[in-house]
A = this chain, B = another copy of it.
């Protein structure tokens, strides 16, 4: 059986050009004992993948040039040489960026039983949802009633972080760009603050207006000017969960740092970086809490869907244009 997959032929500097992505085809070898073959139905593209398109170590190993790219995917088992999985089983695994995946059965996980569309396990009940939940609960140790600020608040992670925070009370403020994103936030009961064309001081004033008491938790997705403004609006003992800084992923030079880092001392703030993969042993806890909310329709998770394997590079690049809403997916 043939498998078509994407690779990159060089490490990009700055925003990747579509030309570095190459669609290749290979004949899959026969299945070995313990392996399964999976027909992928949904492929995930995520900002963290930009960090792997680099010879430089960040917090995850770089992608190998000319080898299949990797990423989360949902698919259906079509052939199995392992007793744990049989044809027809729906699974999630990391052999994305391709149509047919062949992998050890132990690396494929049967989808949980919630009554939700299967692609939810790539988004609201997958890595982005788990990232939102881990940052709030495991890193920032959010308490009921806490005031929470979330940047990139309409993105795949941020849109879940604001809603999960809102279920625990307190004022929740989301920072976003375009008017439709701000409107969506307001529709969910979130105080929406736009960041476009604002200096750190202007953004500080808007955040202070939205939450005069200040924030107990800042869910940091962005860096730059927004981090500086957030540092001006924290309460004593605030916690900052640093989950990603998309504004920097394509930076070639160095960007300006927050000039008010001393606020960490003044307010005895704790700021901590994390990557969700290191918290995966708590995935069950996350599912127990968030799965029922999603099943009952209480979380509005949005998706932007492209169709066909050939759209993978374009879908990935849309993440950096800000033109997607919620989770960016490719359906095969």
Contacts and interface: CB of A to CB of B under 8 A. Distances in A.
Count of this chain's copies in the oligomeric assembly? 2
Per CB-CB distance, the 9 closest pairs between chain A and chain B, nearest first, are: A257-B257, A265-B273, A254-B259, A257-B258, A270-B272, A264-B273, A257-B259, A271-B271, A268-B273
Interface in A163-190: none
A228 B245 contact: no
B278 A268 contact: yes
6 contacts: A227-B261, A256-B257, A257-B261, A264-B271, A267-B273, A270-B272
B268 A59 contact: yes
Highest count of chain B CB atoms <10 Å: which of A228, A266, A274: A266
Contact of A265 (B244, B258, B259): B244
Contacts of A228: 257
Interface of A: 58-59, 223, 227-228, 242-245, 248, 254-262, 264-275, 278
A257 B262 CA distance: 9
Given A256-B259, A259-B257, A272 B274 contact: no
A272 B244 CA distance: 19
A59 B259 contact: no
Contacts of A269: 272-273
A259 B223 CA distance: 10
A247 to B, nearest CB: 9
Contact of A248 (B223, B256, B262, B278): B262
